[in-house]
Amino acid sequence: MNFSLTEEQELIQQAARDFAQNDLFPEVIERDEAQRFPKEEVRKMGELGFLGMMVDPKYGGSGLDTLSYVLVMEELSKVDASSSVIVSVNNSLVCWGLETYGTEEQKEKYLTRLSTGEIIGAFCLSEPEAGSDATSQKTTAIDKGDHYVINGTKNWITNGSSAEVYLVIAQTDKDKKHKGINALIVEKGAEGFEIGPKENKLGIRGSDTHSLIFNDVKVPKKNRIGDDGFGFKFAMKTLAGGRIGIAAQALGIAAGAYELALKYSKERKAFGTEISNHQAIAFKLADMHTQIEAARHLVYKAAWDKDNGNDYDLSGAMAKLYASQVAMETTVEAVQIHGGNGFVKDYHVERLMRDAKITQIYEGTSEIQKIVISRSILKR
């Protein structure tokens, strides 16, 4: 076993830390309040290679390992989870899915631009009645010979209006249930493709989340990813890696809140001494530190599994389940340590607490992670 990062991984981690402090931090409160998408920041992240981190350089990517991606996600999420979810969806769900299962033509046309951040992508699986129960797709993609025709609505889509390329999961043959589902690449501006209103959210308010409406949208067959009926497996395989990215996001949110609480506890005085000298506060910090370190081990292990060709469905689900729980608990305690100041936006911890909640919901709720984990351990 080796718990050390390589020199390259340390440099990438430092680059992400510097970017988060210098570029994400200054306007993070304003973006959250105004629900403003970090357009300029996303452009810079593209330049830094954060949007196609694991993609082969021949398709414009950075050619790095999953652990490097996790380190970047962690550092960005300490400061701004709205920005890190954009990174996560583009890397794990869009670029990875296309690089792993796309045709050479699809990679040339889409991946090369997605991995450099010239454009960003969205992953469209959830529906009003198919969130956790993802096989119950109501959106249809009817086979018309050389093209499909898509009809239906997708919900809660990250990068909903800012994406240029959408990976849409839809039912082609209802009788075949999940084996009749396809994944199709839809371009922004396709006739009949409408972007619904922006959701007004509790957290990650800087990311743009929309419903998407498809009215007789024609998609050429060459835009299908994988063989006919591969769409559901495509979604499951892609989400298995996506969960490592969201686990890293949860870890970063927890670590960011902990670092703020630790600093504050050494500055703020009560009863004649810094509050960190009170055991009530010191024990909270001890619990937070221990839980974050445990979450970090699970997240890095899941990344290591993926990089070493091991199965990562189980380790990714455990990492997401635990890290998101730690994010929620740690951010609540960070607000508590800050007392009245914690309830005020200027101190950042209330935003981190609001941002933490989504990590227990998207890319599979905590309950779905328990389904994945229990099925995996019981089949052994």
Would you please indicate which residues are annotated as catalytic (active-site) residues? 363
Write the interaction track for ligand CAA spanning residues 345-364; mark x where CB under 6 A is met and - where it is not: -----------------xxx
| DSSP assignment of 313-365 | HHHHHHHHHHHHHHHHHHHHHHHHHHGGGGGSGGGSHHHHHHHHHHTTTTTS-
Which of residues 63 and 131 has its CB atom nearest to ligand CAA in the complex? 131
Candidates 79, 81, 163, 240: give the one binding ligand CAA (CB under 6 A). 240
Dump strand ranges (E) for the chain.
Answer: 121-124, 140-143, 147-158, 165-171, 181-187, 193-198, 209-220, 269-270, 273-274
Please give the residues from 304 up to 343 whose contact with ligand CAA meets the rule CB under 6 A: 313
- In three-state secondary structure terms, 210 is strand
* Residue type at 321 in one-letter notation: L
Residue 249 φ then ψ, to 5°: -65, -45
Write the interaction track for ligand CAA spanning residues 4-23; mark x where CB under 6 A is met and - where it is not: --------------------
CA–CA distances in Å: residue 43 to residues 31, 69, 86, 107: 16, 17, 11, 21
DSSP state, residue 57: G
Q: How far is the CB of 1 from ligand CAA (least distance, A)?
A: 26
134 binds ligand CAA (CB under 6 A): yes
Q: How far is the CB of 48 from ligand CAA (least distance, A)?
A: 21
Q: How far is the CB of 131 from ligand CAA (least distance, A)?
A: 6
Q: How far is the CB of 264 from ligand CAA (least distance, A)?
A: 31
Q: How far is the CB of 207 from ligand CAA (least distance, A)?
A: 9
Binding segment for ligand CAA (CB under 6 A), chosen from 129-137, 255-263, 270-278, 296-304, is: 129-137
Please, what sign has the CA dihedral across residues 311, 315, 316, 321? positive
92 binds ligand CAA (CB under 6 A): no
Which of residues 54 and 87 has its CB atom nearest to ligand CAA in the complex? 87
CA 366 to chain CA centroid, Å, is: 15
Residue 48: exposure state from Cβ atoms within 10 A (0-12, 13-18, ≥19): middle
Residue 145: exposure state from Cβ atoms within 10 A (0-12, 13-18, ≥19): exposed
Number of residues that bind ligand CAA (CB under 6 A): 22
195 binds ligand CAA (CB under 6 A): no
Residues that bind ligand CAA (CB under 6 A): 89, 123, 125-126, 132, 134-135, 158, 178, 232-233, 236-237, 239-240, 313, 362-364, 368, 371-372
